[in-house]
Chains A and B, each alone.
Chain A
Amino acid sequence: MTIEQLAAIQSRRRFLKKCGAGISTAAFANLLSAEGYSTDSSKLPRVNPMAPRRPHFAPKAKNIILMYQSGAPSQLDLFDPKPGLSKWNGESLPPSLTKDLKLAFIKPNAKIMASPYKFKRYGQSGMEFSELVPHLGTCADDICMIRTMNTEAFNHDPGVLMLTTGHTQFGRPSIGSWVAYGLGSESQNLPGFVVLGSGKGPNGGSNIWGNGFLPSAYQGTRFRTTGDPILYLANNEGVSRELQRSRLDVIRKLNEKRYEETGDLEIAARINSYELAFRMQIAAPGLLDFSDEPQHILDAYGAEKEPTQAFGTNCLLARRMVERGVRFVMLNHGDWDAHQKIDENHRENCSMVDQPAAALIKDLKQRGLLDSTLVIWSAEFGRTPMIQLDRPDAGAGRDHHPDCYSLWLAGGGIKPGTILGETDDIGLKTVQDKVHVHDLQATVLHCLGFDHEKLTFHHEGRDFRLTDVGGTVIDSILL
């Protein structure tokens, strides 16, 4: 056995030890083949933390697109119609109904505000959407709406950390990092977990795509809106591709020599990292070049006009990434945090996201990608049925509401055209089928073929997982 072969064994052993129960035997076999040095013409072992791996059982979904709606849109004005509210409009609720409410700004005796928007039933499912999101309405039969989400956090940062990391405080890995860690990536020239943003920066900052205690290979790579799409992707001025290639060749050669002297596998990994970096330099600009998209697709996403341009571009990019094997795409849009002037805020945000989000579902579907791509629309929580009116002239808003809010899923093994959960007539409490954020996460991991209790990472003396100590897969919405 050569030193390289021995080193490869060593690397796998170390990797599997760290993964603990996280990776199944099947994954081990897969890993062996993915790193099979026998197939590689080079004498270097292939050490790639993003090598594709198999999950615990056969998955429905291969890719995830998470549309995080930062700041929390009002479910009562978009997805969960409550005609019952109008009966209370302008009145306070009795204290018995509100005594356990956790509210950030307003007092429990704040007055009820009925939604001013008309709702309409769409498709065969008859799912209701408000007039602010007519495009999403046309996807009703592809959507699974959960109306009874709940979370512990009632402030933005803890809330979005709960959604993305399963815990209200900083320090845990993002769901995208967990997925990249569990599955690796199909793409050999793009990162496995990509983050796109539009509007204002998201709550939680970079923590929501951070790798936490997982190796940083699994952190989200932010595609930027200014400058290079990936930080430091472009060569320095004066460096042509040819010059770059010759530079990388000599770096490789010297690194290989060092590897021969030391037998340290990290050098092999370093060489692979440089090669992937070079492939990214070539692939990323192509990803961003929409000239191969027909006009009707660009129009459907609204990628070339305001106000849909930013989110539309990102949705189209998300589809192109999924096509190229990117495992997890996070699309952040904000800011929905309408404590004041909710009408103005929600009309503006809906005009930016409704059309592109719907276009993405349809486009994935027509390409046969929706079955294997799970699209998730979620905020960190919802908004209260009560009005927030800080000052008479401030313009009506709604406060944070973590007890019941709506989100939707589409594709990836989720039952289309379904509504899960029932809220009471004023949208204050769940009546039936309460779903916790950990349940959502358990379900998303299930769609990817993971038992959420077994996708773990040993850290600080215990096995951590995305769903912390909770989570139950929501069987009723699975196909």
Chain B
Amino acid sequence: MVKREVVGGTFMKNLGKILFFLALVQTSSSLGWAEGSQNALSLPPVAQKPIDFSRDIEPILKGRCTMCHGEAQQLSGLRLDQRSTAMQGGYSGPVIIPHKSSESKLVRIVSGVIKDVVMPPSGERLSDDEVGLLRAWIDQGASWPLEAETALEATASSGRKKSSHWAYQPLKKPVPPEIDNPKWARSPVDHFILARLSKEGVDPSPEADKYTLFRRLHLDLIGMPPTPAQITAYIKDSDPAAYETWVDRLLESPHYGEKWAMQWLDLARYADSDGYEKDLVRPHAWRYRHWVIKALNDDMPFDQFTVEQIAGDLLPNATTEQKVATGFHRNTLKNREGGVKIEQFRFEEIIDRASTVGTVWMGLTVACAQCHDHKYDPITQKDFYSLFSFFNNADEVNIDAPLAGEMGPFLSQWPRYRTEREELLQKNRVYELMPAWEEKMRLAARNPGKWTDLDHAYDALGKYLDNGHGIVEKSPSERTRKETDSLIDHFVVNYHRIITKEFNKELNYKDLLRGNSSFPSGKLQDLKDKFPAVSEAQTIAESAQGRKSNIHIRGAWNQKGIEVSSAVPAFLGSLENTTNASRIDLAEWIISEDNPLTARVTVNRIWQEYFGAGLVRTSENFGSQGETPTHPNLLDWLAADFIEHDWSLKKIHKTIVMSTAYRQSSAARPELVTQDPDNRWLARQQRLRLPAELVRDSTLAVSGLLYPKIGGKSVRPPLPPGVTGLSYGNSQQWPEESDGRDRYRRGLYVLLQRTIPYPQMATFDATSREITLCKRERSNTPLQSLNLLNDPVFTEAAQALAVRILSESKQSFSERLLHAFQIALARTPSDEELESLQKYYHRQTQIFEQEPGAAEKLAPVELAGISRIETAAWTGLSSVLLNLDEFITRE
């Protein structure tokens, strides 16, 4: 303890308290603490008598410890009912150090001298006498007589018991059950559904009408409604195979990949920015989304889809596309806020990677085990950090990932680009200035805390340049061309962050800091923009560092427990490679027969999209706290069938949409409301409000505004004023709006800036994708109404739809309305609807006649031979159609 002369009074008193407090903290922060008077005072005194283990100690351990640290559970890896494990200790190391009771964690933790933790966590604290006994026992050598060993030890040594929970049992393909009405069944799926319905004594619903079914199929498979021409063709087609023909056609549509990418991007927590305070845009993130869309359109088998995303970089002779797939892991949040500890947020990213893989492929909420053994599921903290370990040694690497057609122009211009770039750098003395700065950075790395200025610059190097700290340590000859360029770019572009005045004095960077510096931070980018570029991608790659992994006590990044090696959760199985398993081993295990979860979890999520809920309703949780399947055999049949057909996603989609169950009407049935309010038996289909992106897509599609380009970069449709003010210190702007056709791209291409959610997306329950998401909410709010009524995108769509109706259909009101209904709702209007809308049409024309100028504002486009009032009234009518619940619902 430091002694210091201070003036007396309350400060002295308070300082005393502080010192005492610090003493406590100190004792807890190091186990190697030496006996000192302050600390000994805080532990109860050692009992002064010879200890008999069975008489004095065993009752305490059995009474207060072994329910959590015994045979059934070994929380924190500690087991206190047998000598060998008790002496080994837990995740944080030994807890009993013979002859040294005051250093033994067991004593310290029950005495309450460790900050914020005391054991047992509930009930009375151990009495001072009891602690005194424990201390005496330890000080006397912690003897644990053989006869006191519980008889359990011999049997328990074989490892943990296999769980009996349904989801972890091996997958077998059940035989579809016999049913009373085999004619109803079009697919094995229907046998399972109908058998359940018969058991409940309920009839299935009739098939939805042809119009509804056709629209349902389009919205489900490609995320956009059919066109009137397609509807007419389908309705007229009497071929019994017409439905199947359309299923095949839609599965071959490139829009299928877009539609189904949306669900995957939620799982992959895909976004175009970092999140957190700085929330920098990730200009290359889209390349991963592009990969997902293409993989789905190519019907890449799901096992391959899995391996490439988890470990594509580690495949032999990995292709660029396989590396791009690992962008899955780059979607984690990144905190570049000044002052954050880089290692802490690297740790948080790895935690997120491990728990995301656990949820996405295994339906397990493993994240609980970051801090403690899972309360309900057999996932231990050790399991979690063994999973963590697979990702701990991966570095973030950006690579060139050219798309077809990019390479030619790029290469042909490359020499000119390099020449101009070199000239620019030479002219501005970059090569002259950089070495000294690099030297300073290496100096800062070795002397943290010595120079605040350098610390800030070094911090910025780590935060603004991916792997910046690694690159600056390499000698120039060791760096790849890309690394060299990126370091130069960082130096030039961020010079204002990394060169302060103090720094400048010493290095003589005067020129850089004059008011209007000529330093080419912007010019470098301009130059890049001038030349053809190849696309880049965010990927991961194994680091040469070989980072070791540990259990982290209570999930804290800086509190390491025992070391762990990469392994799959022990209750699910084990890998052959126990010493240096890689992400490839993990990926291969995930898709192996040993893991029954992947196929079950995947088909369940697909089912969820079609029926509004999975066969396991908690699609994010297949553990013991999740729900049990409503149709367990159907789930297993689908999962087994999925694997049998080489993990083909398109095949599983087809199996589901071909079923009679899928084709049922979604109308509610009064008799079912009390019997099966949540539609668990599937005696009908379910009406589903479209997800945010599809609300946009459908609107743009029916109005004819949609620009249906597949893939590519993210777009920035106009944002209403004031929306960017959401970001921290207004730091993020929406720099330039995409112009022309790009304003009308599908919703999944709208730039997803985490701190500035695009309003319509947020209003309709799209999240800002901070964490993996298995199922979106479907809310119903007044802001949604206002959005559909007044958002300029929707207004413009109503105007365009009016123009479309008026120019495509030149006849009577009712014929035009029929056309409008076909476009927007893929059906014909009823007489009642016709009448209501006709009345509304007339009411509008009356109002427009009384309010001069109103029609012109509503309908800015002049159409030949049609009055402005007529166009405006059709605009209003179009807006009504686009606002109907039916329009934003998959019936």
List the interface of chain A (C-beta within 8 A of B): 1, 3, 6-7, 9-10, 13-14, 47, 49, 84, 87, 94-97, 99-100, 104-107, 154-158, 169-171, 191, 197, 200-207, 210, 213-217, 219, 221-222, 224-227, 230-240, 242-244, 246-247, 249-251, 253-255, 257-258, 261-264, 266-267, 269-271, 273-274, 276-277, 280-281, 334-335, 390-391, 393, 399-400, 424-425, 428-429, 431, 460-462
One of B2, B7, B789 near A232 (C-beta < 8 A): B789
The 6 A-B pairs at the shortest CB distance, nearest first, are namely A104-B339, A238-B857, A263-B668, A205-B755, A461-B621, A170-B770
Decide if B783 touches A230 in the complex (CB within 8 Å): yes
B779-A240 in contact (CB<8A): no
Distance between B224 CB and nearest chain A CB, rounded to angstroms: 21
**Is the C-beta of B791 less than 8 angstroms from some C-beta in chain A?**
yes
18 chain-A/chain-B pairs, Cβ below 8 angstroms: A13-B677, A47-B780, A96-B2, A105-B452, A107-B452, A201-B728, A205-B756, A232-B720, A232-B786, A247-B840, A254-B886, A262-B891, A266-B885, A334-B729, A424-B14, A424-B18, A429-B18, A460-B621
Q: Which of B248-256, B644-652, B758-766 contacts A (4 or more CB under 8 A)?
A: B758-766
Does A255 contact B884, Cβ atoms closer than 8 Å?
A: yes
Contact present for A243 and B673 (CB under 8 Å): no
**B855, A204: Cβ atoms under 8 Å?**
no
Q: Does B795 contact A (CB under 8 A)?
A: yes
> For A227, what are the chain B residues with a Cβ–Cβ distance below 8 Å?
720-722
Q: B17, A273: Cβ atoms under 8 Å? A: no
Contacts of B790 in A (CB 8 A): 232-236
B348 and A155 contacting across the interface, CB-CB below 8 Å: no
Q: In whole angstroms, how far apart are the Cα atoms of A474 and B223 in the complex?
A: 52
Proximity bits, B1-31, A CB within 8 Å = 1, else 0: 1101011001100110111011001100100
Judge whether A425 and B10 touch: CB under 8 Å. Answer: yes
In the complex, the chain A residue whose C-beta lies closest to that of B686 is: A264
With contacts A3-B670, A7-B668 taken as known, whether A276 is within 8 angstroms of B885 at the C-beta atoms is no
Instruction: Check: B204 CB closer than 8 A to any chain A CB.
Output: no
Name the interface residues of B664-701: CB closer than 8 Å to any CB of A: 666-670, 673-674, 677-678, 687, 689
Question: B500 near A: Cβ within 8 Å?
Answer: yes
Stretch binding the partner chain, chosen from B189-197, B271-279, B520-528: B271-279
Smallest beta-carbon distance B601→chain A, Å? 13
Q: Is the CB of B90 closer than 8 A to any CB of chain A?
A: no
Chain B 340-381 interface mask (CB, 8 Å, partner A; 1/0): 100000001000000000010000010010000000100000
Contacts A262-B667, A400-B339 given; does A14 touch B677 at CB 8 Å:
yes
Residues of B within 8 A of A9 (CB): 673-674, 677
Contact A201 B348 (CB under 8 A): no
The answer to whether B456 has its CB under 8 Å from any CB of chain A is: yes
A155 touches B337 (CB 8 A): yes
Q: Chain B residues near A399 (CB, 8 Å)?
A: 339
Q: Which of B620-669 contact A (CB under 8 A)?
A: 620-621, 623, 625-626, 666-669
- Say whether A224 contacts B340, CB under 8 Å: no
A87–chain B nearest beta-carbon distance, Å: 7
Once bound together, how far apart are the Cα atoms of A205 and B729, in whole Å? 9
Give 17 A-B pairs besides A216-B764, A217-B781 with Cβ atoms closer than 8 angstroms.
Answer: A6-B674, A100-B22, A104-B339, A191-B782, A200-B728, A204-B728, A227-B720, A234-B790, A247-B880, A250-B840, A261-B667, A262-B668, A263-B667, A391-B502, A393-B501, A424-B18, A461-B618
Q: In the complex, what distance in Å separates the CA atom of A254 from the CA atom of B456?
A: 62
B318 to chain A, nearest CB (A): 32
The reply to whether B770 and A106 contact each other, CB–CB distance below 8 Å, is: no
Across the interface, which residues of A come within 8 angstroms of B784, CB to CB? 273
| B771 contacts the other chain (CB 8 A) | yes
Decide if B762 touches A156 in the complex (CB within 8 Å): no
Q: Is the CB of A157 within 8 A of B337?
A: yes
Of all chain A residues, which has the CB nearest B876? A247
Contact A10 B677 (CB under 8 A): yes
Q: Is B174 an interface residue (CB 8 A)?
A: no
Q: How many angstroms from the CA of A29 to the CA of B884 in the assembled complex?
A: 33
B21/A429 in contact, CB under 8 A: yes
Task: Contact check, B884 vs A251: say whether CB atoms are below 8 A apart.
Answer: yes
Give Cα distance in the complex from A229 to B67, angstroms: 57
Count B-side interface residues using an 8 Å CB cutoff.
Answer: 121
CB distance from A122 to the nearest CB of B (A): 22
- On chain A, the residues within 8 Å of B22 by CB distance are 96-97, 99-100
Bound complex: CA A250 to CA B835 (Å)? 11
Q: Is the CB of B789 within 8 A of A277?
A: yes
Whether the Cβ atoms of A200 and B729 lie closer than 8 Å is: yes
A254–B833 CB distance below 8 A: yes
Known interface pairs A49-B779, A238-B872, A262-B666. Does A273 touch B785 (Cβ–Cβ under 8 Å)? Answer: yes
Q: Is B687 a contact partner of A266 (Cβ separation < 8 A)?
A: yes
Determine if B453 and A390 form an interchain contact, defined as CB atoms under 8 angstroms apart. Answer: yes
Does the CB pair A225–B795 fall under 8 Å? no
Chain A residues near B368: list those with CB within 8 A.
Answer: 462
What sequence of 0s and 1s flags, for each residue 856-891 of chain B, a beta carbon within 8 Å of any chain A beta carbon? 111000000000000010001001100111100101
Known interface pairs A231-B759, A390-B452; A225-B728 also in contact (CB < 8 Å): no
Rounded to whole Å, the gap between the CB of A133 and the closest CB of chain B is 23
CB of A247 to closest CB in B, whole Å: 6
CA distance A276 to B780 in the complex (A): 11
A335 proximity list for chain B (CB < 8 A)? 729
Residues of B within 8 A of A107 (CB): 449, 452
Checking B2, B19, B277, B670 against A156 with a beta-carbon cut-off of 8 angstroms, the contacting residue is B277
- The smallest beta-carbon distance between B339 and chain A, in angstroms, is 3
A428 and B725 within 8 A (CB): no
Question: Which of B384-392, B586-594, B801-809, B846-854 lies on the face that meets chain A?
Answer: B846-854
Kindly state the separation between the CA atoms of A429 and B847 in the bound complex, as whole angstroms: 70
